[in-house]
Chains A and B, each alone.
Chain A
Amino acid sequence: MTESVHSEAQPPAKTDVFGFLARFAPLIFLIVLMTAFAIGEPRFLTPLNLFNILRQVSIYGLLAVGMTFVILTAGIDLSIGSLVAFAGLVAAAVSKGGVSNRFTVGAGQEAASYGWYLAALAAIGVGLAGGFLQGFAITRLKVPPFVVTLGGMSAFRGGALLFAAGGPISGFEPNFVWMGQGRVLGEVPVPVVIFVAFAVLAHVVLRYTRYGRQIYAVGGNPEAARLSGLNVRAVITSVYVIMGFFAGLGAFVLAARLNSAEAVAGTGYELTVIASVVIGGTSLFGGVGTIFGTVIGTILIGVLLNGLVLMNVSAYVQQIIIGIIIVLAVAFDTFAKSRRRVG
């Protein structure tokens, strides 16, 4: 073999300032934001408020974890808000032992109702089925994810409205409600525990398993993934199933926290969740992103909304801010992508 002749520019070995910033930008932004709110509003930094923020973001967080899988494959899921409503209603109905029992079986009347775990399984089952249907349409019918899940957004909402024709289903047995309102270790809200546990699990899956590798590969270059022997269609279908799982789980926790399920629940969640994922550094172009980033992104949005509430900024203005943030985050991502190419 020919002796090596060094003619190529050696790759940059020293740390790239921009790369460092890009990687930790969400965390830095979060710290800056928290510092600003802490100075401006003394109530902000109390443990109670911080746990409140975490409890508020935990449902968005669960959904954002699922959405990270989807966006890593360069996909998108707009249907999650609707799916959350539908799955929440099904969980509520199961807990009550049927839709027709919604008024006869109330809180505390455990005799005729099923256990919380069956309600949870039902919600997750609905989520999995919804996710699978959409994944199937995307990979087999070859309809773009945006269109499929836009259809799902409408269809699941319709299903939820149909299912709950008589209005909300409220008042569950105490164990069910505890999953949303309870606390463990004195202070920590149960939804936070669920969120953290599943975030850790998702991190392990993405970072350390073969399946995680396949997701990054399929998102980064689907054709190269296929030619490397990966089952691209199965991987893409699976991320929508995973998203469905988290939608079902999120629906259950949401119903438990509100002690109620209704057909208009989850409206607009998709935007907040996608914003959280993108702000956390996951690229809408696919193949780049981490669960850690998503967790930071979720908390960032939660802190922002909480701070705005404490500062009496109207909910309408909050929507405007979320909209602007999502556009800026994508602009930043596009810029980072062009940097990757030049460097």
Chain B
Amino acid sequence: MEPLLRMSLISKRFPGVQALDDASLEVLPGEIHALLGENGAGKSTLIKILSGAQQPDSGTIEFGGQSVTFVSPHDAQRRGIVTIYQEFTLTPNMTIAENVFIGREPGLGVFVDWRKMASETRAITKRLGLELQPMSIVRGLSVAEQQMVEIARALSMKSRLIVMDEPTSALSSAEVEKLFRIIRELKAHGLSIIFVTHRLEEVMQICDRYTVLRDGRLVGSGAIANTTIDGIIRLMVGRQVNALFAHREKTPAGDVVLAVEGLNRRGNAQDQNASVLADVGFEVHRGEILGVAGLVGAGRTEMARAVFGADPFDSGRVFVDGRQVRIRSPQDAIRHGIGLVPEDRKQQALFLALAVRVNLSMASHQRIMRWGVFMDETAERAMVEEFRKRLNIRMASPEQLIASLSGGNQQKVTLARWLALRPKVLIVDEPTRGIDIVAKVEVHNLLFEMARSGIAVVAISSELPEVLAISDRIITMREGRISGEIKGENATEEVLMSMMTLSAKAA
């Protein structure tokens, strides 16, 4: 079969980095194609070139049998290539229909034919099997629903190739299933999909063929049916990763370090009366890793932020080492030995314009001060060096901007920021989101090491295999409540899924 898309020998150089080095990609008509590789392998750059957001230094693109060059995203969209990025491009205060037809509103001259816009939007959403009201405002939609609006927009543009960049990273398992159903639907209509993800299980589940990039080069491609997860990982990292999700030897849990009782919070941005947290209570022991599973919106992050003092809560008690403590701000939490690695690294943890050194020490200034006022930069450098070795942080210099590190190394710096404070309790929210597979294993090992050293770790993750691999004990949340608790060794994905989705019961 003639490929729909053929990108050949694409090269692209940024200052100091060869992002793409003669990379190639072929996508057949009506297939779901996985574009794989570690962070920094060149996937995003290749997609940006395909979508017209960036121009290659060299190489050719053929689409539908014609040689093409895209000088802007608009250019690519006109040809039928639409890219849906992780960060959506919707206008939140407009209706679904307006977003779908933005820039191409049907009508006469400056007047918009609202009725036509609404009916065409409804036709598209119906085709996708969605129940979305064309005239409702985008702001109130869930992440999954917003993604559907993006897909509807792509369809309205009569696109032939849809590129999805990490479409499942912010979705719950149920929502992922729904998305996959829609992707298969699109495929049945003859569209091609390029699917970029870190989740290899999903690749095996939905994709037809794959292309793996490493260091900006094509290192392998073929049919999914003829390969395995291990085979793909070998291509991605260039060698075998043993014990991908290694279980560790369990250490007996110590005393209760953190106990939370009757945590309640009502009201979120959309709804003042929504029950965000309802009677949430749990305990974590010294040296234990407590996994927290739940669908997106189940209240996991909200629980973590409440315990850490980042968000207020209405009622509830928090105990550290058996003594009740009052936590009204992150400062209070830190004083009592509680740390939080937030879910969104760039928005909530990193200072992108500052050096690695400054980022790393941000929470532990007290440890490296002179005369209570000045920073002791010698001590600070020593601290950075200590963590660079211990956490295997790959960087050229401590003075390097943190923005120039890979996601995995950025996450290690964030973890080091808290380790430097020697916390009693460390809550990690999606500790491996968006980082490559090698760094992921390193982060897991680090969590194990932290537990071994006596820290009580609370690990929130949307990836069930991860929760299963790292947790001594797992609690699940559903609609703001703790819906179940289970020992790590007794848990399976199926059991967890039912605890997360069914009403509360003791497992």
Contacts and interface: CB of A to CB of B under 8 A. Distances in A.
Interface string B357-400: 01000110100010001110000000000000000101111001
Contacts of A208: 374-375
B458 to A, nearest CB: 15
Interface stretch (B12-20, B105-113, B145-153, B271-279): B12-20
Interface in B203-254: 214-216, 236-239, 241
A140 interface: no
| 5 nearest A-B residue pairs (beta carbon) | A12-B16, A8-B40, A11-B404, A229-B334, A220-B351
A41 interface: no
B351 A224 contact: yes
Given A7-B238, A211-B373, 8 more contacts: A2-B438, A2-B441, A7-B40, A8-B394, A12-B17, A208-B375, A220-B353, A224-B350
A203 B190 CA distance: 63
Contacts of B397: 13
A14 B397 CA distance: 12
Interface string A228-262: 11110000000000000000000000000000000
B156 interface: no
Contact of A227 (B340, B354, B436, B441): B340
15 contacts: A7-B41, A7-B237, A9-B18, A11-B17, A11-B405, A12-B15, A209-B375, A213-B365, A217-B351, A217-B362, A220-B351, A224-B347, A283-B353, A340-B352, A343-B403
Contacts of B488: none
B373 A221 contact: no
A100 interface: no
Given A2-B438, A2-B442, A7-B238, A228 B353 contact: no
A229 B396 contact: no
Interface string A1-26: 11011111111111010100000000
B466 interface: no
Nearest to A289: B353
Contacts of A10: 17, 396
How big is the B interface, by class?
35 or more
B348 interface: yes
A210 B394 contact: no
B471 interface: no
B394 A4 contact: yes
Nearest to A286: B353
B239 A5 contact: yes
A164 B470 CA distance: 72
Contacts of B436: 7-8
A183 interface: no
A136 interface: no
B485 interface: no
Contact of B392 (A1, A9, A220): A1
Contacts, number: 140
**A226, A228, A287: residue with the most chain B Cβ atoms closer than 10 Å:** A228
Interface in B318-359: 330-331, 333-334, 340, 342, 347-354, 358
A141 interface: no
A342 interface: yes
B8 interface: no
B330 A13 contact: no
B303 to A, nearest CB: 15
B16 A343 contact: yes
Contacts of B374: 208-210
A7 B363 contact: no
A216 B236 CA distance: 38
B445 interface: yes
A93 interface: no
Interface of B: 14-19, 38-41, 214-216, 236-239, 241, 308, 310, 330-331, 333-334, 340, 342, 347-354, 358, 362-363, 365, 369, 373-375, 392, 394-397, 400-401, 403-406, 408-409, 417, 436, 438, 441-442, 445
Contacts of B40: 7-9
A16 B40 CA distance: 20
A212 B436 CA distance: 34
B442 A221 contact: no
A11 B15 contact: no
Given A210-B373, A224-B350, A2 B445 contact: yes
Contacts of A283: 353
Contacts of A12: 15-17, 404
Nearest to A229: B334
Contacts of B349: 224, 227
Given A2-B438, A229-B331, A216 B351 contact: yes
Interface of A: 1-2, 4-14, 16, 18, 208-211, 213, 216-217, 220-221, 223-231, 283, 287-288, 340-343
Nearest to A208: B374
Contact of B354 (A217, A229, A342, A343): A217
A210 B358 CA distance: 11
A340 B237 contact: no
Nearest to A233: B329
B364 to A, nearest CB: 9
A341 B12 CA distance: 16
Contacts of A5: 237-239, 438
A217 B349 CA distance: 11
B334 A8 contact: no
A180 B212 CA distance: 70
B450 to A, nearest CB: 13
A227 B404 contact: no
Given A12-B17, A229-B331, A287-B353, A343 B310 contact: no
A274 to B, nearest CB: 20
**B340, B350, B362, B408: residue with the most chain A Cβ atoms closer than 10 Å:** B362
A14 B406 contact: no
A212 B334 CA distance: 21
A1 B445 contact: yes
B355 to A, nearest CB: 10
Nearest to B369: A210
A229 B363 contact: yes
A7 B38 contact: yes
A226 B310 CA distance: 8
Contact of A11 (B18, B38, B331, B400): B400
**B15, B41, B239: residue with the most chain A Cβ atoms closer than 10 Å:** B15
Nearest to B18: A9
A68 to B, nearest CB: 15
Contact of A288 (B16, B237, B353, B392): B353
Given A7-B238, A8-B394, A343 B330 contact: no
**A7, A224, A225: residue with the most chain B Cβ atoms closer than 10 Å:** A7
Nearest to B366: A210
A230 B354 CA distance: 16
Contacts of B442: 1-2
Nearest to B377: A208
Contacts of B403: 340-341, 343
A342 B14 contact: yes
Nearest to A226: B330
B352 A213 contact: no
B335 to A, nearest CB: 8
B16 A220 contact: no
Nearest to A341: B403
A109 to B, nearest CB: 44
